[in-house]
Structures are given as structure tokens and as C-alpha cells.
Structure 1
Amino acid sequence: MAQLASGKDVLAGARAVLADEKAGEYAVRSALTRATESLEDVIRIAVSRGGRITG
């Protein structure tokens, strides 16, 4: 459940940065970095669960 809450926080933060027309490069890069890390977690978990389901 912690990953789900973290993912929701990352998504909310990324949306806020994208909605802010004054967001600078640092804010955009930071949001993209967090989103990338979150997506890596999602893929890792999906692969792990998929291996258990089909294995």
C-alpha cells in the first residue's frame, strides 16, 4: 500500500508542475525524475507478480 500512496503523491506533484506555467527546468526535471522512479517501481512489481502468476 505504501507504493500506491507514493505513486499517487508523485502523480499529484507531476500534475501540479505541469499545470504551473511558471515552473522552471528544475521543477520539471525533479517531477520527471520522481515519475520515472515511480514507474520503475510499478514495472518491477508487475514483473514480480506476473512471474508468480504464470510461474
Structure 2
Amino acid sequence: MTVNFECITRTSVPAAELFDRARNIDAHKDSTARSREEAVGGGAVDPLPGQVD
């Protein structure tokens, strides 16, 4: 059986900023602190080459 779904998120935040936030392990750890979920490894990530903060 194949199942498909679509999730639409509406935001005024620029796509590049959302992408950087999604790659930020520290932000993930903060967002899951209450559930005691733990990240496997990593640290804060730098922006992609050529990206300006």
C-alpha cells in the first residue's frame, strides 16, 4: 500500500533562513528539550558557502 501526504507551511520567513534553522542542531536540541529527545551528534552549522548572514 502506498500512502502520500502533503504538508504546507505558510510563513513570512525567507526560505534561506528556514533552511539554515532546519540544519541547526542547537535549535533542534532546544526545541526538543521537554521531551528529553537527544541528537546523535553535531553542533551549530555554518551557513552554506556563498550565503550571507
For this structure pair, what is the TM-score category when the shorter chain's length is used for normalisation?
A: 0.3 to 0.5
Question: Which structure has the highest helix share of the two?
Answer: 1
In the superposition, the TM-score normalised over structure 2's length comes to: 0.33
In the superposition, the TM-score normalised over structure 1's length comes to: 0.32
Structure of greater relative contact order (alpha carbons < 8 Å, 6+ residues apart): 1
